[in-house]
């Protein structure tokens, strides 16, 4: 099925039946992306009394119990409720099923090579995405085209599908100035393929979360 869309007087043709998911499949029985050393997501057969939820073991149907930590195991979407006491369901933050989104690919740079800042302070070995990188990548796009923004990190190899992030494999993140720029451009839905927009160990400040989610927007991680 085809639909025609006009954004800023530019005509686009979208093939709805050929949509491609950018989420990473979560293999419940194999290697998985992981953050903070959390237990892997898992699945086991539901067993209650004489009932066994496995047709291979004589059960009438298949029923599994899933154990999952969305924030650490794989793709997830979070709303402002990630950092405040009040419950704001994700489906209330996303009120459109289709909206203009740009995908850009950026290679993180060493914090020692940029003039941007972060709270808490950057360490020289940190790998970051800067305001300048975003400005250069998005200068030709209007705010109307940036309702959503997908930032794909480079190199974009298959190891991302099962990468475990820890002190030895420290993930990249945005500088505060970079997040200020995303906020200024009016981005409502920000998708990234690294564990967090903030530094993995940031003394609990979550400074980038607080900059972006001040609009009650959403963050997604297509891991």
Dump the DSSP string for 177-194.
Answer: HHHHHHHHTT-SEEEESS
- The number of C-alpha atoms within 13 Å of 152 and in the hemisphere containing its C-beta is 14
Per-residue pLDDT of the chain (223 residues; tens, 9 = 90+): 899 989 888 899 989 899 888 888 899 989 999 998 899 999 999 999 999 999 999 999 999 999 999 889 988 888 888 888 888 888 887 888 888 999 999 999 999 999 999 999 999 899 999 999 999 999 999 999 999 999 999 999 999 989 999 888 899 999 999 999 999 999 999 999 999 999 999 999 999 999 998 765 666 654 3
pLDDT given for residue 81 in this prediction: 85
Going by the DSSP 8-state scheme, the letter that residue 203 receives in this structure is T
pLDDT given for residue 36 in this prediction: 86
Collapsed DSSP state (helix, strand, coil) of residue 60 = coil
pLDDT given for residue 221 in this prediction: 56
Tell me how far apart the alpha carbons of residues 137 and 1 are, in angstroms, rounded to a whole number: 31
Domain ranges (residues) in the chain: 34-70, 76-221
- Residue with tokens 């298949």, as numbered in its chain: 62
pLDDT given for residue 70 in this prediction: 86
* Cβ contact 61:53 at 8 Å: yes
Tell me how far apart the alpha carbons of residues 6 and 83 are, in angstroms, rounded to a whole number: 36
pLDDT given for residue 216 in this prediction: 57
Quickly count: other Cβ atoms within 10 Å of residue 199's Cβ: 26
Q: Tell how many helices (H) and how many strands (E) occur in the chain.
A: 5, 16
pLDDT given for residue 75 in this prediction: 81
pLDDT given for residue 98 in this prediction: 84
Tell me how far apart the alpha carbons of residues 148 and 90 are, in angstroms, rounded to a whole number: 15
Nearest to 74 by CA among 39, 126, 44: 39
């Amino acid at each position: 099925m085809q639909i025609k869309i006009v954004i800023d007087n530019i005509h686009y043709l979208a093939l709805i039946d050929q949509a491609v998911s950018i989420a990473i499949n979560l293999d419940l029985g194999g290697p998985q992306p992981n953050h903070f050393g959390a237990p892997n997501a898992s699945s086991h057969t539901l067993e209650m009394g004489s009932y066994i939820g496995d047709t291979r073991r004589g059960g009438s149907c298949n029923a599994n119990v899933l154990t999952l930590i969305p924030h650490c195991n794989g793709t997830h979407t979070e709303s402002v409720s990630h950092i405040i006491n009040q419950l704001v369901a994700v489906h209330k933050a996303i009120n459109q099923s289709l909206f203009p989104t740009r995908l850009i690919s950026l290679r993180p740079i060493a914090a020692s090579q940029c003039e941007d800042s972060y709270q808490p302070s950057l360490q020289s070995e940190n790998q970051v995405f800067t305001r300048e990188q975003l400005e250069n990548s998005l200068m030709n796009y209007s705010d109307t085209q940036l309702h959503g923004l997908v930032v794909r990190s480079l190199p974009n190899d298959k190891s991302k599908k099962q990468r475990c992030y820890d002190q030895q494999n420290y993930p990249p993140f945005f500088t505060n100035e970079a997040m200020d720029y995303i906020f200024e451009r009016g981005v409502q839905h920000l998708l990234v393929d690294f564990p967090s927009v903030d530094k993995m160990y940031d003394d609990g400040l979550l400074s980038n979360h607080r900059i972006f989610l001040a609009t009650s927007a959403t963050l997604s991680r297509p891991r």
